[in-house]
Amino acid sequence: MGKEQSRVVVREYDENTDLEKAEALEKSCAVGSLSVDLMGDPLARIRQSPSFHMLVAEIGYERKEIVGMIRGSIKTVTCGNIAPFHRLQDGGVSPESTKLAFVSGLRVSPFYRRVGIGLKLVQRLEEWFRRNGAVYAYVQTESDNDASVKLFTDKCGYSKFRTPTFLVNPVFNHRVTISRRVTIIRLAPSEAEILYRSRFSSTEFFPSDIGTILNNKLSLGTFLAVPRGEYSTGSWPESWAVLSVWNSKEVYRLQVRGTSRFKRTLAKTTRLVDGALPFLKIPSFPDVFRPFSMHFLYGIGGEGPRAAEMVEALCSHAHNLARKCGCAVVAAEVASCEPLRLGIPHWKVLSPEDLWCLKRLRHDRDGRDWTTSPPGLSIFVDPREI
């Protein structure tokens, strides 16, 4: 083991020479119930970020083999409840922000595991984070992925920080009916940015470059829901909700593996019936047993006694948009205590519990420590990191 590990070289990923080997490694690691196909670009999921980096672990002398890889990105976000906030001249408050790094895409070849390659990749990526001014680093993983959780919490010094839920809803063959009590308005990116900054800039993980996200070609639009007849009065309604749609279809595809033939046949039957008799509006199980794509709903928020109803109408609109685009599912990720999650349709069998782990890379100003802060009701989930 020691000899194999000593021959491992960690270096920066080279798009011109490493693409084929990186794709092969990605496929060799797809041994779980859910595999990911990155559409031929290992950097696709972080390339939209303002600052990104990718490393590979290489072994061998004359015939070199890539046996591990990792991706990372850096952005500025709101850190949530580590008040006091800075006071503004008009008497308001400015939420505290920090430079946050994101760890993703850690892969190690099944033939070279348990020799420290994953740890080496994380440590080298953290060196790049520190050189580029990141104060914190975080990683998203499934709560039941014991190997990943142990690596980051036991060996890399990360703390279990937040436990959001990844809510997944199938896209049916039939259109979903949108409540007649609700009016849905498409916002221009500039209008959406004003709304997000004015209403959600103090939400934990809110990105300072929200305008870049909303103007990204993968962002399919931002939609505002209000009670019918109230928006035209010119005053802001008591109840409202907003969300944006991200086209993950252009970045990666997913596939569920290891399901029995009986369950696949049963799922296919529901799709056939739904397709033949769409007026019955039978909930059909999507074909997730072959490579499929999804739309991701982000920036979910709202206020008022009917906010959950507004969110449900927006999710119905997003479902119909995903159906038109040929997606199998729509998904959203929200905080475990998010009050609006009641309005987000999802199937529990498809919706895993997530775990976000956070690490302080250097001391923040004034000695504040985000890793020990209590969770808020909501988090802002960046679609570039899903």
Mean pLDDT per block of 10 residues along the chain (386 residues) reads 63 90 80 59 75 92 86 93 47 71 93 92 97 96 89 96 94 93 96 96 95 95 94 80 94 74 78 80 80 94 96 98 94 94 91 93 79 92 92
Provide the edge-to-edge strand list for the sheet that holds 219-227: 165-170, 329-334, 294-303, 240-247, 219-227, 182-187
CATH class of 168-350: alpha beta
- pLDDT the model gives residue 287: 80
Contact 299, 244 (CB under 8 A): yes
**pLDDT (0 to 100) of residue 82:** 64
Q: Can you give the pLDDT at residue 33?
A: 56
For residue 274, the SS3 value is helix
The pLDDT of residue 30 is: 62
Q: What angle do CA 263, 342, 272 make, to 5 degrees?
A: 30
Of 11, 326, 340, 385, residue with least CA distance to 173: 326
- Where are the chain's structural domains? 2-162+354-376, 168-350
Q: Do domains 2-162+354-376 and 168-350 have the same CATH topology?
A: yes
pLDDT value, residue 242: 98
Whether the CB-CB separation of 144 and 333 falls below 8 Å is answered with no
**Under CATH, what is the fold of the domain 2-162+354-376?**
Aminopeptidase (3.40.630)
In this predicted structure, what is the pLDDT of residue 35?
A: 61
Cα–Cα distance between 375 and 31 in angstroms, integer? 34
Q: What is the bridge-based pairing of β-strands 294-303 and 329-334? A: parallel
* Three-state DSSP class for residue 145: coil
